[in-house]
Amino acid sequence: MKPPGNSQRVATAVICAYGVYCIVHIALGPERFQWDFCTYYYAARAWASGSSPYDGAVVAAVAGRPLNLYPYLPITLFLFRPFLLTDYRTATMLFLGLKVLLLCGLMTVWWRGFVKGGSAVLFALLCLFAYRSALFLEMRAGNVFLLEQLLVWVGFACLLRRRFAWFCALILAGALFKITTVLFLFLLLCVEGPRRKGWFWGGWAAFLVIIAASAVSAPWLFNEFLRTAAIKLGDESGLHQPSTLACMRDAVGLLASRGYALPPAAAGAAYAAVAAGVVVTSACAVSVSRRRGRADAGMTAVCLGCLVYALVLPRFKDYYYILLLVPSYFAVSRAPAGAASALLCAMVILPSLLSAENPLPIFTHDAAALGLFWEYYPLVVAVLVWVLTIAKAVAPEPETGHDA
């Protein structure tokens, strides 16, 4: 590996400086930030006292204030039990420190396993500002998404190295927090390798065993979990949950407010059509890439898998777009024309700089003033990244000169 150049050193310094600023910014406001961890902490405390961690009223009584509902499988509560050994304020600092370690690990996996000495400046800018500064949004919320992402991306690295057992284990571990993570097992059907279909079916069988064990070991908790999951499926939209389904619902509502009333099922039908189109087109692109024996066929499958997941999932929070940072890097860095790369960079970076969500104090603009487009801007960027990735996957490789 060639030694790092000046651009890589500068990018590393910028990431570190910005990261320190963000961490200090969050650490100085424990009452304003890490609200998701607050839910985890007091849900675990309610569970330790014999109450339901999924009962919002019970958890609010324990915490002394209203909180979000605990969204994960009952088994995940064991992860938060150690934090109960100390008071909440100390626990938030410990959790924030753990998140910093997870972030360092995730960026190391990205850089060494996927970017592999590419443009440090481009990658740094994407990590800092892409998708309305998704990395900062996740750190600010105090979610466990970084842990899930570390498991998923190490799993992707194992997949590309045909270590299918490790891939399945890591994806299943991530699915403990977000069940839909198990859908990444379908990537086993998109790569080459021995016994990949066996591992695919084995992975799904193991997932069903995990779900069955959760249901049997604590049926009342599992039923509460299912009830909470159903509630959270449609509890947010717009800035905080810019998913395709939410966008369709809001677009139909906007049309209705302008006098163009559509049938009640219009949003669901539009979402289903878009989701089907994304899945079918992506599957065809992966098939074309594999059939041509492209050297980057595996990485293309991973990138398209992430993009399909983001565009099709009914609920996709603003910080979930962290999943698309590496696919976005590849789409921009391998775009067929410099103009396309410049346009995508502008779409990714400039709106983020103008966002009210950005922690830098000079950016105080009202994001809501930009309307529906601004609220779903991360989704728009994801669609552009998907289009560029599809175009690259199906484009014929340039011919290389050879002797007759």
**Could you write out the three-class secondary structure of 171-206?**
HHHHHCCCHHHHHHHHHHHHCCCCCHHHHHHHHHHH
pTM (predicted TM-score): 0.88
HSE-CB for 133 with a 13 A CA cutoff? 22
Question: 80-105 b/e with 16+ CB inside 10 Å = b?
Answer: beebeeeebeebbeebbeebbebbeb
DSSP-assigned states of every residue in 288-329:
HHHHTT-TTHHHHHHHHHHHHHHHH-S---GGGGGGGHHHHH
CB 157 within 8 A of CB 109: yes
C-alpha distances (whole Å) from 17 to each of 120, 127, 136 are 15, 13, 13
137-141, 149-153, 228-232, 248-252: range with lowest mean pLDDT: 228-232
| 33: pLDDT strictly greater than 80 | yes
| 244: pLDDT strictly greater than 90 | yes
Using CA atoms, how far apart are residues 327 and 110, in angstroms rounded to an integer? 11
How confident is the model at residue 96, as a pLDDT? 92
CB 382 within 8 A of CB 306: no
Q: Of residues 332 and 373, which shows the higher confidence score?
A: 332
For 309, the token pair is 């997941």
15-24, 111-120, 220-229, 342-351: range with lowest mean pLDDT: 342-351
Q: Quick one: average pLDDT of 2-30?
A: 73
Neighbours of 196 (CB within 10 A): 17
Using CA atoms, how far apart are residues 99 and 148, in angstroms rounded to an integer? 11
Listed in sequence order, the residues at least 6 apart from 308 whose beta carbon sits closer than 8 Å to its beta carbon are: 278, 279, 282, 386
| 337: pLDDT strictly greater than 70 | no
Average pLDDT, the chain: 85
CB 215 within 8 A of CB 68: no
> Which of the four pLDDT bands, split at 50, 70 and 90, describes residue 336?
low
Q: Of residues 30 and 249, which shows the higher confidence score?
A: 249
Q: Of residues 92 and 256, which shows the higher confidence score?
A: 92
| 403: pLDDT strictly greater than 50 | no
